[in-house]
Amino acid sequence: MKTIKGPGVFLAQFVDSEAPFNTLDGICKWAADLGYKGIQIPTWESFLIDLDKAAESRTYCDDLKGKINSYGLEITELSTHLQGQLVAVHPAYDLMFDSFAPKNVHNNPKARTEWAIETVKKAATASRRLGLTSHATFSGSLLWHTMHPWPQRPAGLVEMGFEELAKRWMPILNHFDKEGVDVCYEIHPGEDLHDGDTFERFLEATNNHKRVNILYDPSHFVLQQLDYIEYIDFYHEFIKSFHVKDSEFNPTGKKGAFGGYNDWGNRAGRYRSLGDGQIDFKTIFSKLTQYGCDVWAVMEWECCIKSPEQGAREGAIFIKDHIIEATEKTFDDFAGAEIDEQMLKNILGL
């Protein structure tokens, strides 16, 4: 068993043009004052980290780490969710996803993919220089538009899609392996890796690459009506990153899992602040601790009702209260005795 680290906070949803959320010092002080012990850094926010410099300069990484440590914080992981998304984009989403990339690769999907691959590789090197062993990202998607198959999918389409996805990720995975860092894919609707079966398809397509791992976020499984507790039983050995985010699913006679194109506030499945949804975090923390998952418990705020400031204040306390200090003793040790082989034989009647 292993005690989960935390609380941590993913900074992506808190970045703003206003202080304290517009400088590294400001956001670090804010997080530390709320009781957070770690920050997960979105690498597309250049004021938080210059990924080019981090991939090239140990001095830059040492200075960055030192500044963050000075606030009593650690870096939990770097995140390339946006850049990882761009490793694989179906043409139907080109216009919407171009905004995640530099303008010089807009309207050029091939160049955008190449940029994404090289950028995620840089994050691997930066992670190693910062002393990190896990990295958070998205897989991207070539097949999501065929998730509900009408017209029916042609035979071989899914296999070809995962073969191509693996082909794009293999150079990245090999680079992460060289740097000694695990790639933790957030299993998420909209991605080709969105549940257990699709994770296994990708794992097989990459020849069981040892750097293919999971960022576990139960909120996405509630929206899919997937058993998020049993998921841990199946995949605990792959869970190397953990987003603590709540959600709820309240279907009606008008809407269900697909949401009816409603905004988040009016969907049957929606994300909530910690403690306001339906997720059984006590069991989640118990299982992750029992299985010895070496993870940071990182709050991700995405709520359609509560403000991010209140969500962050309450989130640090919520995570702290759920972290279990793994026991090193058995409760009945007091009644134990030294092993006596002859006594054991006598008990068994041997």
**Bridge partners of 249?**
269
CA distance 98 to 112: 8
Domain extents for the chain?
A: 5-348
Domain 5-348 annotated CATH 3.20.20.150? yes
DSSP 188: -
In 53-178, which ranges are E strands? 74-80, 134-137
Cβ–Cβ under 8 Å, residues 298 and 8: yes
pLDDT 10s digits, 67-113: 999 999 999 999 999 999 999 999 999 999 999 999 999 999 999 99
What pLDDT does 333 receive? 67
Q: Which tokens hold the place of 1?
A: 């068993």
What's the Cα-to-Cα distance from 30 to each of 10, 19, 33, 312, 323, rounded to whole Å? 13, 10, 5, 10, 22
Contacts of 60 (CB under 8 A, 6+ apart): 50, 53, 54
φ/ψ of 349, rounded to 5, equals: 70, 30
- How much is the pLDDT for 183? 98
3-state secondary structure of 1: coil
CB 217 within 8 A of CB 190: no
pLDDT lower than 50: segments of the chain: none
Give the pLDDT of residue 335.
60
* pTM of full prediction above 0.75: yes
CA distances from 111 to 46, 107, 144 (A): 21, 9, 22
pLDDT at residue 25, as a whole number: 98
